[in-house]
């Protein structure tokens, strides 16, 4: 078995542990801590991150981890890094929406090589390892193929919520003004990890986020790519974790969408 499949097995176990933490905690009252303007984390975001950290520190002590809630820890000389969003879609989760997911990637020099995204409510686990394909609950995934913008369902990231987002939000509104008459439908799921996985599964044809953190998408990137999607930044450069924007879509749509977005 290749190293990457071994790492995928480790990532699946880590995410299964995380999903159990969520299931156990679901019936209890949530405590919420503010992180910024209209931005917060719940007690379960921290509990999940801590459980995954503990598991991976025991399994792969030489690989550092970047997590949304606790930052970067571990060996800074490693080319590998685990990248974790304990709950992607925290606002959905806190509102009782089922659209949230645990997202865990292994990156090598910033490129996603293993990804596991689990949506605990729908019991869907999306997985991929570079060169080994992508799967949903072990069934192979492939992107859908509309070649025309008019047939495309496109998912977008949330609007920014801090004062510095004003300019970016204005650009997003302008993009909607131009795109809405040309595409089939707009979707805004509120979880970038599932945006990537839903692109891989053909549930949406493209996903675009104008500002994104690596933990939101690192796992979904390899899942989407292994399902046949092109995943770049807004300049059309292959996405890696240093990018701040992301466009994932079936290759036939990529050029037309990028032209509209850029």
* Interacting residues toward ligand IPD by CB under 6 A: 68, 85, 88-91, 157-158, 190-192, 209, 212, 216
Query: Shortest CA distance to 68 belongs to which of 93, 77, 24?
Result: 93
Order across the sheet with 246-249: list the strands. 185-187, 153-156, 206-209, 246-249, 230-232
Closer by beta carbon to ligand IPD, 130 or else 197? 197
Closer by beta carbon to ligand IPD, 39 or else 238? 39
Query: Shortest CA distance to 140 belongs to which of 8, 57, 228, 242?
Result: 228
3-25 helix and 43-59 helix, angle to the nearest 10 degrees: 150
CB of 219 vs ligand IPD, minimal distance in Å: 12
CB of 49 vs ligand IPD, minimal distance in Å: 11
Q: How far apart are CA 61 and CA 250, in angstroms?
A: 37
CB of 249 vs ligand IPD, minimal distance in Å: 16
Closer by beta carbon to ligand IPD, 4 or else 90? 90
Beta bridge partners of 81: 107
**Tokens matching residue 85:** 């969003």
Within 10 A of 61 (CB to CB), how many other CB atoms are there? Answer: 9
CB of 40 vs ligand IPD, minimal distance in Å: 9
Closer by beta carbon to ligand IPD, 4 or else 126? 126
Beta bridge partners of 236: none
Beta bridge partners of 34: 40
Closer by beta carbon to ligand IPD, 30 or else 255? 30
CB of 77 vs ligand IPD, minimal distance in Å: 28
Closer by beta carbon to ligand IPD, 4 or else 48? 48
Beta carbons of 13 and 134 less than 8 angstroms apart: no
Q: How many CA atoms lie within 13 A of 33 on its CB side?
A: 7
CB of 157 vs ligand IPD, minimal distance in Å: 3
């Amino acid at each position: 078995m290749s190293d990457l499949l071994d790492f995928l097995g480790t990532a699946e176990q880590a995410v299964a542990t995380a999903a159990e933490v969520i299931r156990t905690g679901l019936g209890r009252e949530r405590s919420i801590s503010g992180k910024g303007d209209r931005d917060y984390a719940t007690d379960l975001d921290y509990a999940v991150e801590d459980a995954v950290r503990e598991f991976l520190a025991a399994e792969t002590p030489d690989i550092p981890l970047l997590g949304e809630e606790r930052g970067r820890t571990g060996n800074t000389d490693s080319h590998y890094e685990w990248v974790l969003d304990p709950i992607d879609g925290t606002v959905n989760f806190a509102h009782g929406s089922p659209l949230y997911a645990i997202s865990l990637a292994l990156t090598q020099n910033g490129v996603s090589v293993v990804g596991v995204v689990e949506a605990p409510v729908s019991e869907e686990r999306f997985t991929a390892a570079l060169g080994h394909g992508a799967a949903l609950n072990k069934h192979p995934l492939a992107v859908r193929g509309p070649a025309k913008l008019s047939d495309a369902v496109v998912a977008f990231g949330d609007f920014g919520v801090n004062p510095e987002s004003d300019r970016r939000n204005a650009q997003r509104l302008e993009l909607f003004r131009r795109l809405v008459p040309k595409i089939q439908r707009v979707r805004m799921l509120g979880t970038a990890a599932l945006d990537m996985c839903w692109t891989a599964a053909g549930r949406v044809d493209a996903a675009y986020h104008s500002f994104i953190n690596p933990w939101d998408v690192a796992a979904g990137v390899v899942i989407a790519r292994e399902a046949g999607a092109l995943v770049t930044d807004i300049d059309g450069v292959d996405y890696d974790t240093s990018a701040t924007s992301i466009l994932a879509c079936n290759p036939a749509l990529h050029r037309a969408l990028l032209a509209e977005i850029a």
